[in-house]
Chains A and B, each alone.
Chain A
Amino acid sequence: MTRMRLLTGTGIALLLIGGAMQAYHPKLESPPVTAEIQVPDEVKQILRQRCYSCHSNETKLPWYDNLAPAYWIVRSDVREGREHVNFSTIGAKPAAVQRGTLFESVNLIQLGSMPLPRYLAVHRDAGVTPDELVTLRHYLETPPVQPAAPAPAAAAETQFQHWIASNGTPIQVQPEWNGVPFLPEYKNWKPVSSTERWDNHTMRQIFGNDIALEAIADGKIDNWPDGTVFAKVAWLQQPDGKGGITTGAFQQVELMIKDSKKYASTEGWGWGRWRGDDLKPYGKDAAFQNECISCHEPVAHSDHVYTMPIGGAQ
């Protein structure tokens, strides 16, 4: 009898608390759709069904997401999701940027980071199916109707002549907005791997400093030691006219500097990207590093490093 009473009491208390929670129901705005992403219908269909709940201005919540406390989490996720990618406004950006966003989206889906695992845990049917993933990949594998204009060879030539004439004299380079310093010695580090990026028409080399190389030789790559630095250098692709691709104009160099204490708030790494042959720090303020961190989040299990290093560079 007392047990019954206790249960009833707890039930009523929970109902009251639950009811009281509903009182706090901040609005989730639905701004107008100004420039929807430009993709074929079969692709848009998938985006609408799988991504638009959090990544568009056309959020449709099932009834259970409208109940606090779930509503509070969902509202916060939607607002953050729209800030990262908003398919209702992205159409205003250049076609290449829209495509780049879709490549990143496919990668986040493939690596199990999107939809957010905790969102999937509740919304079991929200995940992108293997067939849908094939459709998205197929769309991106098909070149756009108007191929990107080839990188101007003349510009690359001027840049090269200027560079060899400088004969290694270092130029003045500002640190990144987050204070991460530029390290001009990156170009003398050892090779870790290379990538041909057909998604954005670049060629890349990844270099590691001595600490990185030692960790690779020891096979200790699950938690890179403090002092590890990686440099990723990107050049525009330049067709050689015979079916091959050579490295064209220098585009950027990116650094990841490991210091688990100093950079504790940014996943243990200091992030930086310098663009153009004048090595201008990327971004407008320190918030640029959120781009780095969110893109590297899927490989958090590999200490946020995408590159699978090739040993034997000592």
Chain B
Amino acid sequence: MKQLLAAMSVVLLLSGCSPKPPKTVYPRLNREAETSGLLSWNQRSSWNPRSGRVITSWVNPGGTMTTLYGDDAAVNYARSHADGAYPAGAKLGAVTWKQQEDARWFGGRIPAQVASVEIVTAGGSYARYEGSPLTAVPGDDTQRAQFLLHQRAAVMP
């Protein structure tokens, strides 16, 4: 019985009158959300935050989303401490994306273009990059650096 049903389904499918699935279900990389101009800031910070591991993420008012990454020193500390007193030299990086509706899931918002990249070195510098390709925005923002250093790690048992 099952085989008969399957055979008949195949006949119907082969009849070629099934509607084609929408384009969005075919494989696609989210190219627009990649960080471009990597070298321009990579040379100075010599660290790509997306090569690190995830500490946490959040959604900002106004339709952007941020993921905070860290190098080994930062991630290991964040996952066992709540105080944000990272060892000197630990690197954290926040990538903030504009959001777009997920074409594959009504109910989801996913990263679109990169809005900014911020790099904080514990006990040291803060740097901010914007635009495409990313270019450094001059200035030091201690308050913002402290904000990033005090984000708690997302629980990952």
Contacts and interface: CB of A to CB of B under 8 A. Distances in A.
Given A159-B155, A171-B157, A195-B110, 15 more contacts: A73-B8, A76-B5, A121-B12, A156-B155, A163-B157, A164-B80, A167-B80, A200-B107, A244-B60, A247-B58, A301-B21, A306-B104, A308-B28, A312-B38, A312-B48
A21 to B, nearest CB: 10
B104 A308 contact: yes
Nearest to B114: A310
Interface of A: 69, 72-73, 76, 103, 106-107, 110-113, 117-118, 120-122, 127, 137, 140, 156, 159-161, 163-164, 166-168, 171, 186-191, 193-200, 203, 205, 207, 216, 219, 221-222, 233, 235, 237, 240, 242-247, 249-250, 253, 277-279, 298-303, 306, 308-314
Closest 9 CB pairs of A and B: A199-B107, A243-B61, A250-B155, A187-B156, A117-B18, A112-B21, A308-B30, A245-B59, A247-B154
Nearest to B28: A308
Interface of A is mostly: mixed
B79 interface: yes
> What range describes how many residues of B lie at the interface?
35 or more
B49 to A, nearest CB: 9
Interface string B24-47: 111111110111001000000000
B12 A118 contact: yes
Given A118-B13, A245-B59, A112 B34 contact: no
Contact of A112 (B5, B22, B35, B157): B22
Interface string B1-19: 1001100110011010111
B156 A301 contact: no
Contacts of A300: 25
B34 A312 contact: yes
Contacts of A121: 12-13, 15, 17-19
B82 interface: yes
Interface string B77-107: 0011110000000000000000100101111
Contacts of B21: 111-113, 117, 298, 301
A112 B25 contact: yes
A195 to B, nearest CB: 5
B51 A221 contact: no
Nearest to A298: B25
Contacts of A242: 61
A111 B24 CA distance: 8
B56 interface: yes
A222 B99 CA distance: 25
B138 interface: no
A45 B15 CA distance: 32
A250 B153 CA distance: 11
A194 B111 contact: yes
